[in-house]
Amino acid sequence: MSDVKKRIKPKDRNTIIQALRAGVVPRAGLHHVQVGRSEELAQLNKDIDLISDGGSSFRLVIGEYGAGKTFFLNLVRMIAMEKQLLVVNADLAPDRRLHASGGQARSLFAELTRNMSTRTKADGGALASVVEQFVSQAMKDADANDMNAETLIEERLAPLEDLVAGYDFTKVVTEYFHGATTGDDDRKSRALRWLRAEYTTRTDARKEVGVRTIINDSSVYDYLKLYSQFAKIAGYKGLLIVLDEMVNLYKLNSSQARGNNFEQILRILNDVLQGHAENIGFIMGGTPEFLMDTRRGLYSYEALQSRLAENTFAGAGMRDLSGPVIRLQNLTPEELYVLLHNIRNIFASGDEGNHLVPDAALHAFMDHCSKRIGNAYFQTPRTSIKAFVDLLSLLEQHPDKQWTDMIEEMDIEEDRGGSGDQLDKSEDGDDLASFTL
């Protein structure tokens, strides 16, 4: 690999370091930090290829808090974009879930479309550019073939009319086309509002967009399937839906609400297993309790338990990654060492000659963490990673300091205060614990 390829752009370097110090997953430069998970990534790569070929995929990514779910989901999300899939992602929350009657499912769909991403617009907000690109290409092709652009748009979207609300979807995209050709930005904005599920009443939708339906709680999954086909028509390979913090369904107090959401998951899973969905994939991140608790988790729903049960022949060092459930294992000491090595390399902008500390410092720091925290720092290493970033940050600002002295000072301070032994047990899926692999 050439020196040019090894170099890390200043923007990526600063973004990653700032994220590490804040304890969150970086939105850029993940490949500079990635450690392990080669088998899991290979399996998800196959899923992405399957979606591109007209198939469908369903995966539950299960791991303890800090096992690396959020990082893994973000990494798969970026791979999918590189392979020309349209990607939407969202975290479930009390006001965002798969099934509801009070607007929470519509709120989830709105969040997904706001976070729509493509290879050229990886940070979300890509819906407008996707629709604009589709309309512009249709107008260009119509001019080249001496056709009416509106007619061509309707012809290309004709396959959607066999799906739920496909006719209204076509009409809204046509509304966007009229806004584009007349320079009416308000008309374009109203069409995008409908596509983002921001209309809450049919009256408003009929008045402002000219259609009698809206995207509501009961139609979220149907519209996701509709969007997967629109993605294909618009020039993408399919649609990947990434949902994190599925544990929020486990936390629902109402057994009926949990059951309704689990039934929606079952519907999605059945469609995938039976081949009724095309060019669409689902990846959902959750904890073992969310999956296996027989009172409140997915296993409380008998039909899901039978479909999600592990391969009984797996064991004795064998893992089955072909099923719907992928379990993320805890960080190993070797992987933590590589991760520290990668962080050191990021601080040096990819130049080995500018490393702030030698390899010996990585071993010494790991010994320090092992003595102070114990084996738990491999499972939820947020405290360790943030401490290492703090160490490098200070060494960068104070080049006269020695890393050996600073690690010794850390030991002394923790002996005095005792706070260094405490692990941060936050359940926030976007924290640094979820970032590490």
Would you place residue 415 in the very low, low, confident or very high pLDDT band (cuts 50, 70, 90)? Answer: low
| Nearest one of 83, 33, 27 to 53, comparing CA atoms | 83
The encoded tokens of residue 350 equal: 């990819």
26 touches 14 (CB < 8 A): no
Among candidate residues 279, 301, 327, the one where a domain is terminated = 327
Q: What are φ and ψ of residue 265, in 5° steps? A: -65, -40
- Is the pTM higher than 0.75? The answer reads yes
| Nearest one of 324, 325, 224 to 279, comparing CA atoms | 224
The more confidently predicted of residues 369 and 202 is 202
Residue 30 lies in a domain: no
Lowest mean pLDDT among 65-74, 144-153, 359-368, 381-390: 381-390
Residue 6 lies in a domain: no
Among candidate residues 327, 356, 380, the one where a domain is terminated = 327
Would you place residue 87 in the very low, low, confident or very high pLDDT band (cuts 50, 70, 90)? Answer: very high
Separation of alpha carbons 409 and 20, rounded Å: 22
pLDDT in tens, 136-194: 999 999 999 999 999 999 999 999 999 999 999 999 999 999 999 999 999 999 999 99
Residue 18 lies in a domain: no
Which domain does 353 fall in, by range?
Answer: 333-435
Average pLDDT value for residue range 197-204 = 96
**Are 205 and 322 contained in the same domain?**
yes
pLDDT in tens, 101-114: 999 999 999 999 99
**Are 337 and 297 contained in the same domain?**
no
394 touches 401 (CB < 8 A): yes
Instruction: Tell me: pLDDT of 41 over 60.
Output: yes
The more confidently predicted of residues 367 and 172 is 172
| Nearest one of 35, 29, 31 to 13, comparing CA atoms | 29
Residues 6+ apart with CB under 8 A from 318: none
Instruction: Tell me: pLDDT of 63 over 60.
Output: yes
Residue 20 lies in a domain: no
Residue 14 lies in a domain: no
Edge-to-edge strand list for the sheet holding 325-327: 86-91, 239-244, 280-286, 56-62, 325-327
